[in-house]
Structure 1
């Protein structure tokens, strides 16, 4: 009987497999002794395990691979970590399955690899969309993630810089080929897969992730939000917002660097990454969020001493009040907070009115265990302060109300006409850039603008008798040239409140806090420091 040699049988099987599945060529690649493949969710995932100790998953970004971490792995090993780097599906040496690419799919791949390797919990160092995979894991698999280094991540599409979105939309297959073709084909199991992968990546980047501030507030893992000030991909204010929302976060934003610090300056990257993993990094974010009345309210705390709650007005935010905050914080502990739908605070869609915002202040104080504070408000936030003083009298030590009105009749007729005439283009011109820079959802500006205008034209509607119930010391303050609030209206208010005093800032108007912050702050501090 004729017998086919055994080595020819093996060769024939290999050839047949390659024809049936071209991506199986990945198994023929020369790989390091610490490299291997795992069957994970319908793909062959390439991974590399080095060292011993606490497991640290290294997740690359975009068109990266395990090779991206070559410069930092030795330091992680020296620090006592076991590194597990892997190629995400369709990248590096890993195959693809044809399933639509998403952060959820790649997070499930990661969990499956952890299960395959018997890893119950691990920390993660993620770069760019590798960090977004880490965020997905921290949100949806909290028991599996210990710590997360998130470098260059956005938690929703609104966090991308407009220029980056335009660039992604304009990219062609020829562009991708020129940028990544040669490197991709060196190790890819299917060199012809790049066009398909490119379109899937572009679609994912332009539509994902879609996490909310509330999702981030539920993260239990310790997270280092890490980035460079010269980012060309993600808005830096978005990164700061992410750090504020995650309860156990640290934040490092480095000047003079951008999206690719780990590749360009691995030593500096490691100066922060390793101390964070060791629990030795002291780098709290600028602000935090508090869950208040179905919204996430952003706030910052500066200085020490008696608490002063500083409330920005109109469409302004904590960022716009930074100078005033710094001045007041020289003598008091200043807690500056963004009102609902303004700055970095979210909104709930409820009808906007002064009573609701006063309830937000009272609930915010509860969330921070503040028994009583000095309230400082300007224009509409001064009206909020009046409402709090009327309905929650024990929560207010002193109130500074700059340019308030107690009824809509207190607005100058020209100002009311101006409010009615404002167009959406006007609102974008006034506030669009600042709102887009800080808002959790920059597209919310038109809706928020209309809600605020409607409130200003119909409220407040208090009575002098209601104002007379206020027992906290009150300073009614305004510029003597205020073009928006009627002088006699403020005089009526001050006369109605037995604990109020009225003061005028000479040669200043409605915008005195911005036009002359030194004079304005001096008047506020003089009042707050009175015995």
Structure 2
């Protein structure tokens, strides 16, 4: 995605949140401070937790954000998410004996059934498990867990976000769920909702040719290169 935007003439900044405090308001404050230093309005693109950060940063920044693309986003925690978070917390405390369980949960929440039925794909993802579903770094897990624990019922507040937003859901997403992305789209006054069939939560990585073209088209319409 970064390469595609750079090739189109955009200046791209990738944000990795590492604030001292990792509740969602502290994270958004860091992004808002960055946006305030820009000479021109910006566009935001976020996926999963990054999308939740992007929508809150857009809400805080007002006219300094021209538009936002929110992929697999959410505006509240649901009961299934609480169960998943308790599972990841438990996995963060165990050793290598839990690697098979980490891999299983990672695969089941990231990819659709057709990918999981592909032996070569599953073997490949297992071979690179340390890169994406291995023993998590304790500090990284703490930041993520703190954000999720503090980011609760936000749908009503998101109604104040006036900037154009593309909200993208994935039909077979078993992590953040398309229904929760639809909730955000319904709450936003100026949102377009697009649900891509047959894709799972990791679609921006596993199926970039389906995910990124509509995002780039949205940015070209609402935040053209100058």
Shorter-chain TM-score tier: 0.7 to 0.9
Please name the residue that 1:448 is paired with.
140
Residues 411 and 485 of structure 1 are in contact (CA less than 8 Å); yes or no, is this contact kept in structure 2?
no
- Contact 1:400 1:476 survives alignment (8 Å): yes
Q: 2:34 aligns with which of 346, 364, 385?
A: 364
| Gap change, CA 1:530 and 1:371, over 3 Å in 2 | closer
CA offsets 1:446-496 (integer angstroms, 9 cap, x no match)? 22322322322x131243221111100011112111111233322222112
Whether the 8 Å CA contact 1:339–1:357 is kept in 2: the answer is no
Q: CA deviation at 1:392?
A: 1.3
**Aligned pair in 2 of structure 1 residues 487, 366: CA closer, same or farther (>3 Å)?**
closer
Q: Does 1:509 align with 2:200?
A: yes
Contact 1:479 1:507 in 2 (8 A): yes
Q: Which residue does 2:218 correspond to in 1?
A: 527
Q: 1:352 to 1:396 in 2, by over 3 A?
A: same
Q: Do structure 1's residue 330 and structure 2's residue 21 form an aligned pair?
A: no
Distance 2:15 2:154 in 1: 27
RMSD of equivalent CA atoms: 2.7
Q: What is the match of residue 474 of structure 1?
A: 165
1:321-380 deviations in whole A, cap 9, x for unaligned? xxx210222224142323233xxxxx5xx220222222111222344x333111000111
The secondary structure found in structure 2 opposite 1:398 is strand
2:57 corresponds to? 388
| Normalised TM-score (structure 2) | 0.73
Query: Aligned match of 1:485 in 176, 191, 198?
Result: 176
Q: Does the alignment pair 1:463 with 2:154?
A: yes
Structure 2 unaligned residues grouped into runs of 5+: 103-128
1:397 aligns with 2:66: yes
In 2: Cα distance, 1:334 partner to 1:361 partner: 16
| Residue 389 of structure 1, CA deviation | 1.6
SS in 2 for 1:421: helix
Q: Deviations over 1:155-210 (max 9, x none)?
A: xxxxxxxxxxxxxxxxxxxxxxxxxxxxxxxxxxxxxxxxxxxxxxxxxxxxxxxx
The answer on whether the counterparts of 1:411 and 1:486 sit within 8 Å (CA) in structure 2 is no
**RCO greater where, 1 or 2, for CA within 8 Å and sep 6 or more?**
2
Which of 10, 13, 16 is residue 339 of structure 1 equivalent to? 16
Task: Check conservation: 1:372, 1:396, Cα contact below 8 A.
Answer: yes
Q: CA deviation at 1:409?
A: 1.7
**Closer, same or farther in 2 for the Cα pair 1:411/1:394, shift >3 Å?**
farther
Equivalent residues of 1:376, 1:382 under 8 A apart = yes
Question: Is 1:494 matched with 2:185?
Answer: yes
TM-score by length of 1: 0.33
What is the aligned counterpart of 1:407 among 76, 81, 88?
Answer: 76
Partners in 1 of 2:207 and 2:154 — Cα distance? 32
Partners of 1:506 and 1:359 lie apart in 2 by 34
Q: Identify if the C-alpha distance between structure 1 residues 332 and 478 changes in structure 2 by more than 3 Å, giving closer, same or farther.
A: farther
CA–CA distance in 1 between the matches of 2:76 and 2:68?
Answer: 18
What displacement does 1:391 show? 1.5
Relative to structure 1, the CA distance from residue 491 to residue 478 in structure 2 (aligned partners, 3 Å threshold; closer, same or farther) is closer
1:244-323 alignment to 2 at 5 Å? none
Q: Hey, which of these two has a bigger chunk of strand by percent?
A: 1
Aligned length: 189
